[in-house]
Amino acid sequence: MQKTILKKNYPRVILPILLLVLLITSDFYPQSKIQSGIWSVSPSLADYSLDSNNGERSMIIEIRFKNPFRQKPNIFISVSQIDSDKQTNVRYNVEAISVSRDGFTLKVKTWADSKIFSLSGYWLAVVN
């Protein structure tokens, strides 16, 4: 008799317990601890200037996270491709600036007589 009662009440007992476990663990194990993506600058972008003139030139790219983080993440940037003029030195800098829970700004810079025709790579956002 007890087995029959337990079988009938099983969904009513288990469902609230599962919901409680999910609610508790979502605070300790947020779904979005890591996000990643690709970035690229090339003459196809408006106001591209890394391939002309002399002196310091920079491009700004706004990166928005698919899902906002609960706190400000650490940003890791890599460069995977560069196309530059073989007649000049290759000088570039890529940095994440203005980091927030919603995204960050990527600044790509070159200087002197360097001419960069395209530059691309990956970004990784991680919350500890």
**Is residue 46 predicted with pLDDT exceeding 80?**
yes
The number of folded domains in the chain is: 2
pLDDT-derived band at 53 (thresholds 50, 70, 90) equals confident
Spatial separation of the C-alpha atoms in residues 8 and 75, rounded to whole Å: 51
Task: Give the tens place of pLDDT for each residue, 60-111.
Answer: 999 999 999 999 999 999 999 999 999 999 999 999 999 999 999 999 999 9
When pLDDT is averaged across residues 32-50 and rounded to a whole number, the result is 93
Instruction: List beta partners, residue 124.
Output: 36, 76
**Is residue 123 predicted with pLDDT exceeding 60?**
yes
In this structure, are 25 and 36 located in the same domain?
A: no
Other Cβ atoms less than 10 A from the Cβ of 18: the count is 10
In this structure, are 37 and 16 located in the same domain?
A: no
CA-based torsion, 67, 123, 45, 102: positive or negative: positive
Q: What is the pLDDT of residue 17?
A: 66
In this structure, are 39 and 74 located in the same domain?
A: yes
Its domain, for residue 70, covers 31-126
| CA distances, 36 to each of 9, 24, 55, 78, 112 (Å) | 44, 26, 32, 11, 32
